[in-house]
Amino acid sequence: MAKNTLLMCANIPVLEFNFDEGEYKVLDDEKLPYQLKGRIADIPELSANATKYDVTQAAIAMNKNANSVTRYLASRVLPLTRENAKKIYSLFGFEQAQDDYSKALISITCRSVSLQDNYWVRNADDPVSWADVDLRQNSLSETVAQVSLHGTSLTLHGIEHTPELNGQGAYAKAWKRENGTLFLYKLGARESDLESKIEVMVSRLLDKCNVPHVRYYDAETNGRYACKCECMTDGRLSILSGMDFYSYCAAVGIDGKRLALQIDADTIYKMWIVDYLISNRDRHGMNWGFFYDSNSMEILRCHPLFDHNNAFDDELMKDKDAPYLFDPSMTMKEAALFAMKRTNFHFTQDVTEADFISPKYYESFASRANDLSLGIRNIARTTTIGRRSR
C-alpha cells in the first residue's frame, strides 16, 4: 500500500492516509465519519532540535491515528461469525484472519462501500467516482447474494463492490433489487424459519402501535421461507448505530445517554416499551441507532425500530425482571414502566390472538401489556384476555 488512500463521502475527499508511511491528514473535518471524530490527532512536525519527548508524542499520535482508521475500516467488513461468512471470504479469495489490519485491507480492496452511509475509499490517483460504486445505483451480484444467503459453492471473477461484505449480525442475509427497490432478505437459523416468522409477526404487531418501525414481509428464496425489508437509507439519510453514537460521544466528551434522549426521547422510550412487550433480548448497540443527514452531518432522529427476530425468547418471557440489555442498570419491566410515564405509547388497532404465530407469544404479550396498564382496554376486548389477565 505505497499509494495514499482517500476516504470519501460521496464525491468529497474526507481523509487521506497511508498505512506504510504513517500519514493521516483530515481533509474535511465536518464530513469525517462519526466513528473517527475526535480520534484523529495532529502529528507534530519534528525539527532537527526535537527532544525525545517530542519524538514520543509524535509516535503516540501516529499510533492513535493508525489504530483509529484501521478499526474504522475493519468495522465495515463482516465477521466470520456471520452464517456463510467463511464462504464469502473464500469466494473473494480473502484470508480469514480477523485482526483489524487484515480486515481493513479487505475493506480497502472492496472500496469499503456500504448501504448504511456514503463513505468509501479509493487510491488518491484513481479517477473512479461515487456514481461508479454507489450500491444504490449500481447492479448487485447475484452470485455473491447466493453465497451470502445459501452458502452456495460458486465462482466469482474479479472483485465486486457488494453490500454482502459489510453486513453485520449472525444470520444469513443478502440484498436484492426488485423493481428498482432494494430489499434485505434474511433467513432463520440453519434450516429453521422460526426467526424469520417472528420478525414478520413483530412487524405486524408494530403496525398496530404508534411506533416508527421497519416493515418486514413474507418472502421466499431457493424454496426457503425468509423475511425481507426495504433499505432504510438513501443518498441523504445515513445510519449511525447506537454503539458508534456512544463511542463518538465518549471521544468528544459528551454525555451520550443525555444527548440520545435530547435527540429523540420519544422513539427511545417507545423502544423500551416494545422490547418489554415482545420479550426482546437482542437490543444491543447495533440494533438501534440514528439517522443523520449525509450532507450536513446533523443527527436527526432515531431510525425506525428493526431486527426483532430474537423476540419472544422462551427464557425471557418467564422473567419480567431480567436486566435490560439496552441499559443493564434497569430491569426490562422497570424500563418499560419508566418509559410509559414519558411517552404516549398506545395501540392504534386491536391486537388479537390471530396476530401471533403461537399462543404462548400471545399470552406473554397480553400479560405484559396489562403490566403497563395497556391491557384489555387497548388489546382485543375478548373474554379470553379478560379471563387470563385477572
Instruction: Output the DSSP codes for 10-73.
Output: TTEEEEEEETTTTEEEES-TTTS-TTTTT-----PPP-TT--HHHHHHHHHHHHHHHHHHHHHH
Nearest residue to 194 (alpha-carbon basis) of 324, 314, 81:
314
- Three-state SS at 301: strand
Cα distance from N-terminal residue to C-terminal residue, the chain: 69
Nearest residue to 35 (alpha-carbon basis) of 72, 62, 10, 73:
72
Give me the sign of the Cα torsion angle 197, 198, 203, 205: positive
Q: What is the CA radius of gyration of the chain?
A: 23
Cα–Cα distance measured from residue 249 to residue 262, given in angstroms and rounded to the nearest whole number: 13
Q: Which residue has the cell 422513539?
A: 267
Three cell numbers written together for 270: 417507545
Exposed/middle/buried for 329, CB within 10 Å: 0-12, 13-18, 19+? exposed
Nearest residue to 215 (alpha-carbon basis) of 291, 114, 305, 312:
305
Give me the sign of the Cα torsion angle 96, 102, 105, 107: positive
- Three-state SS at 189: coil
Return the pLDDT at 159.
67
Q: Which residue has the cell 461484505?
A: 165
Cα–Cα distance measured from residue 340 to residue 271, given in angstroms and rounded to the nearest whole number: 11
Cα–Cα distance measured from residue 199 to residue 185, given in angstroms and rounded to the nearest whole number: 12
Buried b vs exposed e over 64-74: b needs ≥16 C-beta within 10 Å?
Answer: ebbebbbbbbb
Return the pLDDT at 381.
44
Q: Which residue has the cell 419508566?
A: 338
Query: In 10 A of CB 62, how many CB atoms?
Result: 16
Torsion of the alpha carbons at 383, 373, 242 and 171, rounded to the nearest 10: -20
Return the pLDDT at 59.
85
Give me the residues paired with residue 291 across strands. Answer: 239, 301
From first to last of its 390 residues, what are the pLDDT tens digits of the chain?
458 999 999 999 999 999 988 889 999 999 999 999 999 998 877 777 888 887 888 888 889 999 999 999 999 999 999 999 999 999 989 999 999 999 999 999 999 999 999 999 999 999 999 999 999 999 998 999 999 999 988 777 666 678 988 877 789 999 999 999 999 999 998 778 999 999 999 999 999 999 999 999 999 999 999 999 999 999 899 999 999 999 999 999 999 999 999 999 999 999 999 999 999 999 999 999 999 999 999 999 999 999 999 999 999 999 999 999 999 999 999 999 999 999 999 999 999 999 999 999 999 999 999 999 996 545 544 434 333 333
Cα–Cα distance measured from residue 215 to residue 361, given in angstroms and rounded to the nearest whole number: 20
Return the pLDDT at 2.
52
Give me the residues paired with residue 230 across strands. Answer: 183
Return the pLDDT at 363.
95
Cα–Cα distance measured from residue 106 to residue 76, given in angstroms and rounded to the nearest whole number: 9
In degrees and rounded to multiples of 5, residue 311 shows phi and psi of: -70, 170
Return the pLDDT at 370.
94
pTM of the model: 0.92
Query: In 10 A of CB 150, how many CB atoms?
Result: 19
Taking a C-beta distance cutoff of 8 angstroms, is the pair 196, 202 a contact? no
Nearest residue to 83 (alpha-carbon basis) of 150, 183, 142:
150
Q: Which residue has the cell 404487531?
A: 205
Return the pLDDT at 152.
86
Nearest residue to 277 (alpha-carbon basis) of 346, 369, 188, 385:
369
